[in-house]
Structure 1
Amino acid sequence: MCGIFGIIGNYNRQKVELSLEKMIHRGPDGTKITEFIGGCFAQNRLAVIAPSHEFDPPFIQSNTIFVFNGELYNYKTIASSFNFDGIKSDSLCAFKAFSNNAKVFLNSAIGMFAFALYDINLNKLTLVRDRFGKKPIYYANDGSKFIFASSIDAIVPHVKTKFRNSALKSYLSYRAAITQETFYENIYKLPAGHTLTYDGKNVSIEKYFDFFAHKKNDQNLENSIISSVNLRLTTDTKIGAFLSGGLDSSTICALASNELLRQEQKLHTFCIGYNGFEQHDERYFAALTAKKINSEHTEIVFGKNDFFEQLDKTIKAFDEPISDPTSIPLYAMCSTISSLGFKSVLSGEGGDEAFSGYEKYSLFLEMLKAKKLPFASYLKGFFARHSENNREWEWYKRVFSDDIAYRTIGECFTDEQKNVLLNSKVAERDSIVLIEKFYDEFKKSGRQDYSEWMSYIDIKIWLGEVLLQKADKIGMANSLEIRCPFMDYNILANSIRLGDTRISENTK
């Protein structure tokens, strides 16, 4: 885990150092700047695997420079498949394997990562982001220089920028800026599962991971989850786990505890509770689970005063607005866990999307049945002629108009509500335009099961642009990486194929 930075073109060394200072929380274990003809690469390192300084990127080999942020969990398997001897570092393995055969490496890599490689002889820069966007990478190109970094804050000193008004509409609909455009003009983010190349003049972006083209894993689902959890226990430092007592985190913690106990180690689990808000307190069920799985359990108590104490810190952790109130208690948890010497923690994030855990999924499947009513054509006209400023009305209007009814679990303001809030004319299909490309991809895949669409768009938007970015920014603000076993592509891509059989009577 690290904060990475690079410039191809003219640069100011002091500004580079300022950029690294702004990302020091992402990598407090070592800072390294590598300058070369035509630019520089730099990195703040959080040493989790192979913590020795001899493995501090950037790496240089045969006029090629490489910098890496994240974790490559299966680096030993990849090193073996490429016949690399003595590889002790996941980032060094990624460098060698990607340089050797980029396509084979990207197809086999299991992890969360964003990295950059620059070929000095060819004057060619390549950026890569993991399949689901667990690790961010931002970039800017002003014609005289190309800049990339793990955070927007690190790029701002090098470019002219201002607030991007169009991002506000995306934020109000989906709680984040969900396109390649950020809240800052001239600063962009590389989409998940894509590569970017820059040759000194032109920028080219290509998709390398097709969600629906992924081949089904031969492992059964249970073994896939066990394998994913075990891989994410790979570390040379202390690792813990979030435990709420719910199904997702309990499953992850139980499997992790089993593996660690087999190695004669104990899993450390952490739960947060709320003084004065017992209806949201999960400590009771978390404690029961911790006892059952034989983990070392720590309860973190969070009250009103803690909320206001953490609020400013939480806001500061975000480069740009992300709306999720759980960010504040998450900051408190990460701060405590990091202070206890942990650098990594497991999370159950992704379980609801993979296995249709949200109650809203079953609600929308029931709503869609209204299209088969004998007077559906009348209702279509009725909802089109009348307007009510609430989400339920909007949902039924979409159902009868054959529009995209479900637009993520985190959808906030409807287009009509945005009109009222902003006192401006927001196009009726404004929120649809932002997600149409995903719907087109879904239709082109030949899939028709609506539950698959709901999971797919939530993985792309709710997980990719909100939850995973929240986890990365809050975790790294406290020098803590958050690992999500359910976010393994073998699990996500295969679980969706189960269709609405994932939606149990309990969910309904």
Structure 2
Amino acid sequence: MCGIAGIVPRSNSGLLYTEDLKAMLTELEHRGPDATYHFINPNVALGMTRLAIVGGDNGVQPIWNETHTCAVVCNGEIYNYHALKETLTFHGHEFQTDSDVEVIIHLYEEYGEQFLSHLEGIFALSIWDAERQRMLIARDRIGVKPLYYINTDDAFAFASELRALLPFAPGQLNVSALASYHELRFAPAPYTLVERIEKLPPAHYAVIHGRQLRVQGYWKPTLMTSIDVDSSVNPARQASDSSPTAPVVSHLTTDVEKQQHVRGLIEDAVNAQRADGVKSSVLLSGGLDSTLLVALQTKLFGTAPNTITVSFKPPASANQYVSTEYDEHSYARQVADLFGCEHRAEEFDANETWDLLPQIVSDLDEPIADPTALPLWFASRLAHQSGHRVMFSGEGMDELFAGYSLYRQTYWLRALNAFPKNFRQGLYEFLKDARWPGTNLVEHSIKPVTEWYRSIGELFDTDEINRLFAQELRDAAKTAPRHWSASTITRFLHLSDHARTNIDPLQQMLLFDCVHWLPENTLTKSDKISMAHSVELRVPFLNERLFEYALSLPAKYKMRRGVHKFIIRKAFQDVIPYDVLHRPKAGFPVPITAWVYGEWHDQIRDLLLSPDAVTKDMYQRQMVESLLSSSPDAQRRSARLLWSLVTMELWLKSVVERDLYVRGVSTEESSVEIV
């Protein structure tokens, strides 16, 4: 793992971007503390900061081809590089190093822009083609590794983190991204909060040639469109459509065969991502996914892994949100003892967490209003202190195999969908003013999934944003384009009208989370927080083959009779302890509501309402005060809203402290069309 950066000048002035590149690499030093390398000439500047995992002393980048006409820098790991190297050697390519990255440059020589289809791994990369005087940048299919770029009149520049590109930016906030952040908790690709700086979307590459910039996708996640659901709900629907949009393993006909295939894919994925030669650990919550990682590493590697757990002390403020669920130590300890792991656990309180919030938000690099960044930050710090260069996480299982409780409502949606739409419409009209708890579910049954599912995780709704934003910002936001309307989401998910109508609701929800929530929130947050501590976070369950097969599986294999991750529980019931198999999902709970309206309440008021607040001209004081004084029954939601404001304030403060103050707002649209 490493940080990468590069610059392509727009003119033939012969100026060298030496100091600019060195400044960018300094910003990325935490991503690669072992060494810094660069190559600079009048046509290009390429550099990397290295965290040595694979390749030993031969991992110096950029890596060149035999004729010194093409160079590559890459952040990530190529898991199938042994097989690729063997094939490329057979075709006459000569390798100079043991680095997994070197296969990339030879693949590019062999296949051109199609080389990306051969790679399995997590990566953000750049190739400089000196003969053609063009640069190519690319990002892995699922979006594990981030990549940012800026295209100006003077130069094109890219980097692993947004902070490294701030000196190239005009110093304005992108108001469309700002509005999206307050709605979604983050700014979705290709946009960032900083005008002109963009994120390369997952499964995309960009080619820079002269003043031309072309961004293009090279892979699309697709989904089984046949409604093949739990027959106990609505068997009549199963035969209504039978045309899949994704390749499936057609010879696997029985449940047992599918379970065995999923198990084989998962075991192969875990085995491919083993971290030989460096100390590593598993981020252990004691839940299903992390326990499965521990069990499989013990089985496949012949020794139990190190494990790490963090938790938070119960809040001092006694209210309805205080729960023993905030202590995951006991569950994790049980699993660690069962498998014989060397286990480290730490517990943190509200005061220590508050004191570290400015650093945690700064380490996020771009604002993401998700409190789960807190336990991940402490776990990454603990891994670093333990000398672990790699930490394994169970990310992705919930999105692929329906692990979240929210997905359970699709069980009732299928039942409602058995009735004619005009009946459901009439039922909704009858119930909508009655405040019946099931009214929202009836409403969802008459709307496309892409129209209502996005709003479930919404922070501020349109009316609240109007009351939150100050006049200038509110006026700008009204005219700014919205990138996540129902129609754009439908296109983004590559769903035809036919598929949108006939596809199972659970499948649509899972696909949305896989291509939206997972890369934009979970994976971006995980990469930035772990790499801030020079720790590589590996996510074996997001192997491409497993990812594609999971999407092709009908919904009944993911949730059956209300049981989440049904096929996973069946496939691994011999290796996962019984109590873990049947324990409700917990994860790493954060007592954010109790803290916001308890120990942190006065600090948050001072932070957001201070005359020195960076956001004082962005947010209306009355709205902030209203959230701070929310009634007890509204505090759970209000705490999330306040957390997003705190995150934005601390992020902007970190930018100000770096003398890179973002000035004003802009509604300028991206000038790059993504194919």
Range with greater deviation from structure 2 (137-146 or 406-415): 406-415
1:482 aligns with 2:537: yes
- With over 3 angstroms needed to count, the CA separation of the structure-2 counterparts of 1:41 and 1:454, relative to structure 1, is same
- Measured in 2, the distance between the counterparts of 1:485 and 1:434 equals 30
Range with greater deviation from structure 2 (370-379 or 252-261): 370-379
Aligned pairs (5 A) from 1:311-350: 311-350=357-396
- Measured in 2, the distance between the counterparts of 1:413 and 1:496 equals 31
1:273 aligns with 2:311: yes
- Measured in 1, the distance between the counterparts of 2:191 and 2:116 equals 25
- Measured in 2, the distance between the counterparts of 1:392 and 1:170 equals 29
- Measured in 1, the distance between the counterparts of 2:148 and 2:561 equals 42
Task: Check whether the contact 1:211–1:493 (CA below 8 A) recurs between aligned residues.
Answer: yes
1:110 aligns with 2:120: yes
Q: Per-residue deviation at 1:286?
A: 1.1
Partner of 1:131: 141
- Measured in 1, the distance between the counterparts of 2:45 and 2:173 equals 28
TM-align CA RMSD: 2.9
Task: Check whether the contact 2:150–2:165 (CA below 8 A) recurs between aligned residues.
Answer: yes
Task: Read off the aligned partner of 2:283 and give its amino acid letter.
Answer: F
- Measured in 2, the distance between the counterparts of 1:99 and 1:496 equals 32
Candidates 538, 541, 560, aligned match of 1:504: 560
SS at match of 2:453: coil
1:377 aligns with 2:425: yes
1:14 aligns with 2:19: yes
Partner of 2:344: 298
Aligned pairs (5 A) from 1:53-92: 54-61=58-65, 62-83=68-89, 88-92=98-102
- Measured in 2, the distance between the counterparts of 1:302 and 1:179 equals 33
Identity among equivalent positions (%) equals: 28
Q: Per-residue deviation at 1:102?
A: 4.4
Q: TM-score, normalised by structure 2?
A: 0.69
Task: Check whether the contact 1:5–1:149 (CA below 8 A) recurs between aligned residues.
Answer: yes
1:441 aligns with 2:495: yes
Q: Deviations over 1:86-136 (max 9, x none)?
A: 652111122222332246642232211010001122111111100011101
- With over 3 angstroms needed to count, the CA separation of the structure-2 counterparts of 1:102 and 1:345, relative to structure 1, is farther
- With over 3 angstroms needed to count, the CA separation of the structure-2 counterparts of 1:123 and 1:394, relative to structure 1, is farther
Task: Check whether the contact 1:167–1:182 (CA below 8 A) recurs between aligned residues.
Answer: yes
Which has the higher relative contact order, 1 or 2, with Cα contacts under 8 A spaced 6 or more apart? Answer: 2
Range with greater deviation from structure 2 (439-448 or 82-91): 439-448
Provide structure 2 residue ranges, at least 5 long, that are not aligned to the other structure: 10-14, 223-244, 253-259, 316-323, 565-675
Q: Per-residue deviation at 1:7?
A: 0.4
SS at match of 1:153: helix
Partner of 2:265: 224
- Measured in 2, the distance between the counterparts of 1:97 and 1:306 equals 49
Aligned pairs (5 A) from 1:413-428: 413-422=460-469, 424=474
- Measured in 1, the distance between the counterparts of 2:349 and 2:32 equals 30
- With over 3 angstroms needed to count, the CA separation of the structure-2 counterparts of 1:376 and 1:246, relative to structure 1, is same
- Measured in 1, the distance between the counterparts of 2:152 and 2:437 equals 41
- Measured in 2, the distance between the counterparts of 1:379 and 1:426 equals 34
Task: Check whether the contact 1:179–1:434 (CA below 8 A) recurs between aligned residues.
Answer: no
Candidates 396, 404, 412, aligned match of 2:459: 412
Partner of 2:291: 250
Range with greater deviation from structure 2 (92-101 or 295-304): 92-101
Range with greater deviation from structure 2 (132-141 or 293-302): 293-302
Task: Check whether the contact 1:126–1:198 (CA below 8 A) recurs between aligned residues.
Answer: yes
Partner of 1:24: 29
- With over 3 angstroms needed to count, the CA separation of the structure-2 counterparts of 1:506 and 1:110, relative to structure 1, is same
Task: Read off the aligned partner of 2:507 and give its amino acid letter.
Answer: E
Q: Per-residue deviation at 1:247?
A: 0.6
Q: Deviations over 1:341-360 (max 9, x none)?
A: 11111100000111111111
Range with greater deviation from structure 2 (404-413 or 191-200): 404-413
Candidates 281, 286, 301, aligned match of 2:332: 286
Q: Per-residue deviation at 1:474?
A: 0.2
- Measured in 1, the distance between the counterparts of 2:120 and 2:171 equals 35
Q: Give the paired residue count.
A: 502
Range with greater deviation from structure 2 (209-218 or 425-434): 425-434
Q: Per-residue deviation at 1:32?
A: 1.0
